[in-house]
Amino acid sequence: MEDGFEQVLALALVLACDARREARLGSVSVSRNSLPTAAFCDLMVRFYRGERPGAPPRGASVPIGMLGDGPVIVRAPPMIASVLDRRGPDGGPLYPRGIERLNDTADPVAVVRNALTAQPDRNAVVVLAGPPDNLLGLLALPGGGRLARDKVRTLVVASPAEHAPGFARLRDAWPGSVVLAGDELDLRYPGAAIERDFAWAPDHPVVDAHRSATTTPDAAPARAMAAVLYAVRSDEGYFGLSGRPPERRLTADAGQRGRVMQAIRELVGAPPPERGRGRGP
């Protein structure tokens, strides 16, 4: 995950699907050495899993991997800082989070490897919405390519990740199918709808992030959200596919684009069901 608002929306959609038992989130990896970004991912997971604003964090969430190359980035960009810095009535962080120090994160390559190892064969879908460093690290491990081949059904890549340094190497080395969600989809999430769609919570980290995002136009690109929707509901006919395996691209005509955005907004605009019941497969 990167620091752009498009990726924030995509993470919200992943977590909405996880909360509805349509998917099971195995791990989240940050493709830069940014402690604030890792902390933001952790608080988003906790928020969607029912840890209410103002409450202390409860144990661990899902593993959050953070790229460890170079100096640790400790200064958050305004969009993320606005969420991390919000305070509750007691003066503590409004949104519970369990990541404060480097030791609270995990090695991202190990996180991805462990999440895939726990999956049945051909059951996992990997969504890439940032630089491919962590997946390249997985393929560099002894047996990493075989693990990806056996466990991952599809790698879904959201533009602009396909233009990131290293992506050509990943595409050449990836042992399975790749589906690209590119600029040609022409999907945008209306900025004016953010406050309304996420109004199911009086305090919502997505709303706070949107209010402080410095690069978000009136309508935010929804390519990463399209990648998530395809990853979760690939058989629902939301998209067409162009090209030939192992690399194809998502397509959407005018009718499909309307249906895609309706599905996305319905998913993120519904409050997560109460947790506590047994999880599905």
Whole-angstrom distance, CA of residue 34 vs CA of residue 11 = 17
How many other CB atoms sit within 10 Å of the CB of residue 5? Answer: 23
Nearest to 226 by CA among 275, 262, 196: 262
**What residues does 30 pair with on adjacent strands?**
66
Q: For the chain, what are the domain ranges?
A: 5-268
Are the CB atoms for 60 and 98 separated by under 8 Å?
A: yes
Confidence of residue 68 (pLDDT cuts 50, 70, 90): confident
H helices of 30-100, in order, are 35-48, 78-84
Token pair 């992943």 in the structure block, residue: 14
Cα atoms in the 13 Å half-sphere on the side-chain side of 51: 21
Output the pLDDT for position 215.
66
Q: Dump pLDDT digits (tens) for 167-199.
A: 999 999 999 999 999 999 999 999 999 999 999
Q: Using alpha carbons, list the distances in angstroms from residue 60 to 46, 67, 276.
A: 9, 19, 16
Report the DSSP pairing between strands 188-190 and 219-221: antiparallel
How many other CB atoms sit within 10 Å of the CB of residue 168? Answer: 12
Helix (H, G, I), strand (E, B) or coil at 220: strand
Quick one: what percent of the chain has pLDDT higher than 90? 85
Helix (H, G, I), strand (E, B) or coil at 245: coil
Are the CB atoms for 61 and 40 separated by under 8 Å?
A: no
Q: Dump pLDDT digits (tens) for 94-146.
A: 999 999 999 999 999 999 999 999 999 999 999 999 999 999 999 999 999 99
Whole-angstrom distance, CA of residue 234 vs CA of residue 122 = 14
**The CATH number of domain 5-268 is 3.90.245.10:** yes
Confidence of residue 277 (pLDDT cuts 50, 70, 90): very low
